[in-house]
A and B are shown apart, each in its own frame.
Chain A
């Protein structure tokens, strides 16, 4: 059974940092591009970032470029999102997801999400 389990969310002050993790199981993690998608309370889905199968390539939404860094450890079957210079508008549930087709948006499995709250 495919499982994606996020962790690392919590409350952080503006300007602070947080590192999210996503533990994958039930599939060959290294075969899939992985993504982060977020959803602010009561709002819609927003794509955040993606990383290639080997971790050598990544892309970011303009809103997080230069502040967030996505990475992966295929030996540990784990995806990461390092979030720096956090702002109030980064407050959201962050989902880890995998795409069926390279870097496209056909996300067939999702984690349960981890809540990040940026507040003073």
Chain B
């Protein structure tokens, strides 16, 4: 159950787009379409922003989008806003019937 690999940090200026990658294996990201992304602000509980690779829950801004290619999933945030500054976590269902998270990515809006 090794954690999925995410960059530790990314940054962008307001209005720009950024992409966060999430790399796993054929036993998790590459083997299923159950990849989710959560946003977490300091001191708060996480919030689901993408489910099943690319589905946006009701109420989540369409500036957030998800995709997957092979063993790597990606979260793209377009039109960066100050409120997007947070930690982002991917996770995936695994062939062992467990869930594995990525290590998290800290997004800084410059």
Contact = CB atoms under 8 A, between A and B. Distances in A.
B64 interface: no
B38 to A, nearest CB: 7
Interface of B: 1, 3, 32, 34-36, 38, 40, 45-48, 51-52, 57, 87, 89, 91-93, 96-104
Interface of A: 35, 37, 44-47, 50, 59-63, 95, 100-101, 103-108, 110-113
B104 A106 contact: no
Contacts of A101: 34, 51-52
Chain B interface, DSSP helix/strand/loop, else mixed: strand
Contacts of A112: 45
B92 A111 contact: no
18 contacts: A44-B89, A45-B46, A45-B101, A47-B99, A47-B100, A50-B99, A59-B98, A100-B48, A100-B51, A101-B34, A103-B93, A104-B32, A105-B34, A105-B35, A105-B101, A106-B52, A108-B51, A110-B47
Given A61-B98, A101-B51, A45 B93 contact: no
A112 B44 CA distance: 8
Contact of A108 (B48, B100, B101, B102): B48
Contact of B38 (A45, A50, A60, A63): A45
Nearest to A49: B98
Contacts of B35: 105
A61 B97 CA distance: 10
